[in-house]
């Protein structure tokens, strides 16, 4: 399908303070849009970033039949644009689509749309080291209908946003608290996909965590509240003595692409990586015995986010003296160097434009 392009007359770049970017508050000049009706996607187009006009009865607003992705484009040291693992994101979007009865988006079209959008808005990819252009593909149901059912019409869009780090802590440690009452996901639910509703349901427990002075919730399994699953917007890793552990993708955890990359890098460096179930009791006990050297979260937005404190019920442990550990540093550093083109990309993770 041919993508039509309608260029904006005057860029809004001058209105953005690139020296002090936040996360997800500024948007680049263009966006990609495509519609789905009568059983097919049609009219792929790039248009100026603008508001949408939607019916108050649009199904997504009521029943959350919507999915999204998050990936990043980086400005390399030689001025190219490098996009981190876009094919993986296209694939994961379709895993989410299947679970929410949303029609798949053709992966080649996804890639074509992404490339054309980035070529048009390439000046929006920040030049400052550490910053990037966050790319948000999403699909949502557009039928005007108040009955609960599968929409027959959809929009697939891609918007982009120049960003800095997600957590105000940056590469400094964050603090996590478990919830004995609330769950993020249950077996058979939607925990493994990037559905908007997953995030809506996490807001209240996350607010309670914030009110109690913690950065995020460390989610435990929904059945027994014993096994560690993930953090609000990240997968979680524990580094015990010489074993790096992360929970398995058992259906309730999002299959993070940064998670996957970290496993590859750690194995390449000779670290034993075990993808296994891990109880919160094991984490606390081994932390108390001095065996928990580091803990960190991984995610597209958060990158590598060291964990400095973990609270569970009456117990609280400090990890690595609330300092960023060596492995966290090395992983952040290696991922950065690959993404910003300062090092070879042996895994072929980056798409260069």
Q: Specify the residue for token string 């299947």.
A: 98
DSSP 3-state of 267: helix
Instruction: CB nearer to ligand COI: give 94 or 320.
Output: 94
Instruction: CB nearer to ligand COI: give 65 or 320.
Output: 65
Least spacing, CB of residue 89 vs ligand COI, in Å = 9
d(CA 291, CA 286): 5
Least spacing, CB of residue 351 vs ligand COI, in Å = 17
d(CA 151, CA 149): 6
CB 75 within 8 A of CB 126: yes
The separation between CA 174 and the C-alpha centre of its own chain, rounded to angstroms, equals 17
At a CB cut-off of 8 Å and minimum separation 6, what does 181 contact? 205
Provide the CB-side half-sphere exposure for 268 (13 A, CA).
12
DSSP 292-320: EEEEEEEETTTEEEEEEEEEETTEEEESG
Least spacing, CB of residue 131 vs ligand COI, in Å = 15
At a CB cut-off of 8 Å and minimum separation 6, what does 144 contact? 55, 57, 58, 59
Instruction: CB nearer to ligand COI: give 48 or 255.
Output: 255
| Exposed / middle / buried, residue 80 (Cβ in 10 Å: 0-12, 13-18, 19+) | middle
From candidates 94, 233, 252, 298, binder to ligand COI by CB under 6 A: 233
Site for ligand COI in 279-308 (CB under 6 A): 299-301
Least spacing, CB of residue 302 vs ligand COI, in Å = 6
Instruction: CB nearer to ligand COI: give 131 or 282.
Output: 131
At a CB cut-off of 8 Å and minimum separation 6, what does 176 contact? 209, 214, 215, 216, 217, 218, 231, 307, 309, 310, 311
Least spacing, CB of residue 69 vs ligand COI, in Å = 7
Least spacing, CB of residue 96 vs ligand COI, in Å = 11
Residues touching ligand COI, count (CB under 6 A)? 6
From candidates 33, 46, 70, 308, binder to ligand COI by CB under 6 A: 70
Which among 133, 107, 125, 112 is positioned nearest to 45, based on CA atoms? 112
Q: Does 202 bind ligand COI (CB under 6 A)?
A: no
Instruction: CB nearer to ligand COI: give 210 or 276.
Output: 210
229 — alpha (psi -120 to 50), left (phi > 0) or beta? alpha
Least spacing, CB of residue 149 vs ligand COI, in Å = 27
Least spacing, CB of residue 6 vs ligand COI, in Å = 28
Instruction: CB nearer to ligand COI: give 18 or 68.
Output: 68
321 — alpha (psi -120 to 50), left (phi > 0) or beta? left
Contacts with ligand COI by CB under 6 A lie at: 70, 199, 233, 299-301
């Amino acid at each position: 399908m041919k993508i039509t392009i309608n260029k904006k007359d005057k860029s809004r770049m001058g209105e953005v303070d690139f020296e002090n970017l936040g996360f997800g508050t500024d948007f680049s000049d263009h966006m990609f849009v495509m519609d789905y009706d009568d059983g097919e996607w049609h009219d792929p187009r790039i248009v100026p970033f603008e508001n949408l006009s939607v019916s108050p009865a649009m199904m997504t607003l009521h029943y959350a039949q919507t999915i999204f992705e998050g990936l990043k484009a980086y400005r390399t040291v030689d001025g190219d644009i490098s996009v981190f693992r876009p094919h993986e994101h296209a694939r994961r979007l379709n895993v989410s689509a299947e679970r929410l009865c949303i029609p798949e988006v053709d992966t080649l079209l996804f890639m074509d749309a992404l490339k054309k959008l980035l070529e048009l808005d390439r000046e929006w990819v920040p030049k400052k080291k550490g910053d990037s252009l966050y790319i948000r593909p999403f699909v949502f149901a557009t039928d005007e209908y108040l009955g609960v059912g599968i929409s027959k019409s959809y929009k697939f869009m891609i918007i982009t946003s120049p960003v800095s780090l997600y957590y105000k802590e940056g590469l400094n440690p964050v603090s996590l608290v478990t919830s004995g009452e609330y769950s993020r996901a249950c077996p058979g639910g939607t925990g493994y996909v990037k559905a908007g509703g997953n995030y809506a349901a996490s807001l209240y427990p996350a607010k309670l965590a914030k009110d109690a002075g913690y950065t995020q919730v460390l989610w435990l399994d929904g059945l027994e509240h014993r096994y560690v699953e993930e953090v609000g917007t990240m997968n979680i890793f524990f580094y015990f003595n010489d074993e790096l552990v992360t929970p398995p993708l058992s259906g309730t955890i999002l299959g993070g692409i940064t998670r996957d990359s970290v496993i590859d890098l750690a194995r390449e460096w000779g670290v034993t990586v075990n993808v296994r179930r891990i109880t919160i009791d094991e984490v606390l006990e081994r932390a108390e015995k001095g065996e928990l050297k580091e803990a960190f979260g991984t995610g597209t937005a958060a990158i590598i986010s060291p964990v400095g404190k973990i609270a569970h019920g009456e117990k609280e442990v400090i990890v690595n003296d609330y300092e960023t550990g060596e492995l966290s540093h090395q992983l952040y550093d290696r991922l950065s160097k690959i993404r910003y083109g300062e090092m070879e990309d042996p895994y072929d993770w980056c798409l260069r434009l």
